[in-house]
Amino acid sequence: MTLKGVVLCTIYLLSVTTCFYTTPQCARGCICSLNFTDCKYNHFEELPQGLDPNVTVLDLAYNEFKESPSQLRNYPTLVNLNLSHNQIQTLGARAFYNLRNLKLLDLTHNMLSNWGDIGSNAFASTKQLTFLDFSHNPLRSLPREKNPLHIPSLEILRLNNCSIENLNSKIIEKLPNLQELHLSENPIKFLQADFVSHSLKFLDLSRCNLQDISTTVFRNLSSLQTIYMQQNINLKKFYCDSPSLLYLDLSDCNLEIIPSGNLPNVYEANFHGNHFRMIPKFSFKNYTNLKMLDLSYNAISSIEENAFYGLDYIQRIDLSQNTLSDLNRDLFDTNRELKFLNMSRNYFSELENLISDSLEILDLSLCEIHSIDFDSLIDMPRLKILNLSKNIISLLPNDWQAGSLLSLDVSLCRIKNVNNRTFASMPSLRQVNLAGNRLTSAAPEAFGQVISIDISDNPWRCDCPSLKPLYQWLSKTGKRMDRLYCQSPEMHEGKPWLSACQKEWHPELTRNDSIWWYTTGLIVTVFVILFVILAMRRMYLLKEKRIREAEAARRTEERETLRRMQRVQAEAREEASRNAPDPRELQTPPSYNEALLLPRLDSSHPSLSGSLHSIVSKHSITGSNPDVSKRGRPRRKRRRRKSDSSEGQRASRVVVDSDTTSDPERPQPRTTLESDF
């Protein structure tokens, strides 16, 4: 063996040995990998044998444990333990004993029905536990006297959907490092407790059916940064004093007035989907650091002047899906940092001439705007993007002034014409969307410095000579033109531009295309004819083959039928020959008349020995018959009487009898039996 082979064999043996010694132990029914064991869906009631003693992640979800397995104490290296979707009803005092490294514990979807079922020292050994989830257990309200959650290291506590009705401050009293408290989907109607915590940063009270909240609830939460309270549909007002709060979510509630309180550091407030009807002045004076404000999907019909006064750092305001029909020109004049304003889906009849030195993006789509003044954008000098799509605008003003506008969207309106003066006062315009309007013609000079344009879905009139300049300009911009269709004249209706006007715009391509199509058609036709001929020949050969096979089968069948008939006839003849009587037994002497008609025999025949025929023959041979010479003459026939005939027959019988008694060896003279005539 070469040195290379020895080295490879050594590496292979070392790898196999390493894998053998590093493969963890695994209990039956579990899936194991390095420091991870998955024992879900096994109907375990006790901890299985054979687990790796050094396991750090153990998943025991979807089993049938009634309590926390006592054998867990034998696995002190556990870091993550999942006991969700079991039937755990109690947690004893030593439930998690010796789990000094446990950090994440999931007890969701069990049957813990009372806080008393949790031992006071159940978590005494879990010195590093940071995440605890009791969600979807019917624990009900926390007792005021007893709190089993004494976990100094805990940072995240989840109690979602635990049937908690009354919330008191005891819940976080023994959790000095708690940062997140999740209490969503609990039937909490009134929140009166004064929470005290210097570590809590996140509080989730969404979908809790809250109706009333005390003004002092959040006052002593000095580190609180985020409050989620969305979908509390019975909450009509909200007051909060929290200097540390950064994010406030009160969406999809039933608030009728803007939430108030001391909120100097809130940078984002979400009031989407409430029931605001009016925004009074100075409504946000306490939101001095607010940057993003969402007031969409309300019922706001009017906004008073100075309603947004004091929002010196506001950057985004969303007023979409309201019932606004008019705005004060100076409404956003004091908002020096405002960049984005969304007022879509309102009821403005004309483009509002707002004053804003900072606004860059304005959305007024679906607002039923039908008229625009040429100076409607003059007081927004930094406006760069304007969305006016899906309105009922039929005419764009000439010399429309917007010095900084880069993008204009007027798609799906009713614009019929764009001329050379429409965008003449927009030197920075680079992108225009005119799709879905009623344009029938346009000149490339109308778009000035525009480099990206969408004019699809318009009823273009394909007057090819006048349409050619626009087509050439679009070709230079690299714009796709496969969605540009003609609506008139009638002969070009429904055709793409290039197909309708190709003969006039590119006659050389048309000829080349014609030759190419003619050649291609000729080649295809030849191949089709050859294919048809070959197919017909093959069909003819197959037909002949089938006819020959049918004829051969018919002949074979006829021969077989003939053989069967011959066999049957042979069998019938053989059967008839076996059963037929001997003809000699059926032979009777001829009558007199028959005897007269018999031919004269010149010689005797052995078969006639002893018969009348032999006697007649013998007589004729010897010539003893005296009437032989008379046979050559015709004789006259006479009528015979019946008596003569009967006497002659008797005489004939007598002669025959006498002859038969004579010696058969001796030749006898032929006797002629005649009656006298």
**Residue whose structure tokens are 């008797």:** 650
655's enclosing H/E stretch is helix 642-661
**What pLDDT, on the 0 to 100 scale, is given for residue 605?**
55
User: Given a cut of 80, is residue 274 above it in pLDDT?
Assistant: yes
Contact indicator for 194, 169 with CB cutoff of 8 Å: yes
Contact indicator for 509, 516 with CB cutoff of 8 Å: no
Q: Peptide bond before 489: cis, by omega within 30 degrees of 0?
A: yes
| Tens of pLDDT, residues 101-136 | 999 999 999 999 988 889 888 999 999 999 999 999
Contact indicator for 125, 150 with CB cutoff of 8 Å: no
Q: Rounded distance, CA 452 to CA 477, Å? A: 7
pLDDT band of 10, cuts 50, 70, 90: very low
pLDDT band of 194, cuts 50, 70, 90: confident
- Give the CA radius of gyration of the chain: 61
**What pLDDT, on the 0 to 100 scale, is given for residue 279?**
96
Minimum mean pLDDT range among 245-259, 504-518, 549-563: 504-518
User: Given a cut of 60, is residue 636 above it in pLDDT?
Assistant: no
Q: Rounded distance, CA 662 to CA 659, Å? A: 5
Q: Rounded distance, CA 268 to CA 77, Å? A: 42
Neighbour-count burial of 140, counting CB atoms closer than 10 A to its CB (0-12 exposed, 13-18 middle, 19+ buried): middle
Bridge-based pairing of strands 316-318 and 340-342 is parallel
User: Given a cut of 70, is residue 673 above it in pLDDT?
Assistant: no
Q: Rounded distance, CA 261 to CA 239, Å? A: 5
pTM of the model: 0.71
Contact indicator for 167, 192 with CB cutoff of 8 Å: no
pLDDT band of 377, cuts 50, 70, 90: very high
Find the DSSP H helices in 328-483: 464-477
Range 62-68, long-range pairs (CB < 8 A, 24+ positions): 62/86, 63/39, 66/90, 67/91, 67/92, 67/95, 68/92, 68/95, 68/96
Q: Rounded distance, CA 618 to CA 671, Å? A: 9
DSSP state of 169: G
* Residue 184 CA from chain centroid, whole number: 35
**What pLDDT, on the 0 to 100 scale, is given for residue 645?**
47
| Tens of pLDDT, residues 574-618 | 888 777 666 666 667 778 887 788 777 665 555 554 444 444 444
Q: Rounded distance, CA 652 to CA 632, Å? A: 23
Residue 109, C-beta contacts closer than 8 angstroms, at least 6 positions apart: 84, 85, 86, 135, 136, 137
**What pLDDT, on the 0 to 100 scale, is given for residue 8?**
38
User: Given a cut of 70, is residue 93 above it in pLDDT?
Assistant: yes
**What pLDDT, on the 0 to 100 scale, is given for residue 576?**
81
6's enclosing H/E stretch is helix 3-22
**Position with higher pLDDT, 658 vs 427:** 427
Sign of dihedral through CA atoms 240, 243, 245, 246? positive
Contact indicator for 323, 296 with CB cutoff of 8 Å: no
Going by C-alpha positions, the residue among 266, 274, 267 that lies closest to residue 250 is: 274
- DSSP assignment of 533-577, as one string? HHHHHHHHHHHHHHHHHHHHHHHHHHHHHHHHHHHHHHHHHHHHH
| Tens of pLDDT, residues 411-441 | 999 999 999 999 999 999 999 999 999 999 9
Mean pLDDT of the chain: 84
Amino acid identity, residue 65? F
Q: Where are the beta strands (DSSP E) in 212-273?
A: 212-213, 226-228, 247-249, 268-270
DSSP state of 582: P
pLDDT band of 358, cuts 50, 70, 90: very high
Q: Rounded distance, CA 437 to CA 410, Å? A: 8
Range 48-55, long-range pairs (CB < 8 A, 24+ positions): 50/25, 50/26, 51/25, 51/26, 51/27, 51/75, 52/24, 52/25, 52/26, 53/25, 53/77, 54/24, 55/24
**Position with higher pLDDT, 84 vs 600:** 84
Minimum mean pLDDT range among 242-251, 286-295, 618-627: 618-627
Going by C-alpha positions, the residue among 86, 92, 84, 82 that lies closest to residue 116 is: 92
Tokens of 435: 């799709």
* In the chain, % of residues over pLDDT 90: 62
Q: Rounded distance, CA 492 to CA 660, Å? A: 129
DSSP state of 261: S
Contact indicator for 108, 137 with CB cutoff of 8 Å: yes
**Position with higher pLDDT, 595 vs 74:** 74
Contact indicator for 450, 425 with CB cutoff of 8 Å: no
Contact indicator for 202, 226 with CB cutoff of 8 Å: yes
Domain 22-187 part of CATH 3.80.10.10: yes
Domain coordinates of the chain in residue numbers? 22-187, 459-522
Mark residue 436 as left, alpha or beta (left: phi above 0; alpha: psi -120 to 50; beta: remaining). left
Q: Rounded distance, CA 268 to CA 226, Å? A: 10
Neighbour-count burial of 549, counting CB atoms closer than 10 A to its CB (0-12 exposed, 13-18 middle, 19+ buried): exposed
**Position with higher pLDDT, 25 vs 214:** 214
**What pLDDT, on the 0 to 100 scale, is given for residue 58?**
95
**What pLDDT, on the 0 to 100 scale, is given for residue 584?**
63
For residues 393-422, give the mean pLDDT: 94
**Position with higher pLDDT, 198 vs 658:** 198
| Tens of pLDDT, residues 637-649 | 455 544 444 444 4
Q: Rounded distance, CA 468 to CA 457, Å? A: 18
For residues 380-401, give the mean pLDDT: 95
**What pLDDT, on the 0 to 100 scale, is given for residue 508?**
64
∠ CA 133-134-135, rounded to 5°: 95
**What pLDDT, on the 0 to 100 scale, is given for residue 312?**
94
∠ CA 146-166-181, rounded to 5°: 80
Contact indicator for 53, 76 with CB cutoff of 8 Å: no
Contact indicator for 338, 318 with CB cutoff of 8 Å: no
Bridge-based pairing of strands 36-38 and 31-33 is antiparallel
DSSP state of 371: B
The total of other beta-carbon atoms located within 10 Å of residue 137's CB is 24
Q: Rounded distance, CA 350 to CA 388, Å? A: 11
Going by C-alpha positions, the residue among 98, 148, 99, 143 that lies closest to residue 120 is: 148
Read off φ and ψ for residue 237, nearest 5 degrees: -145, 160
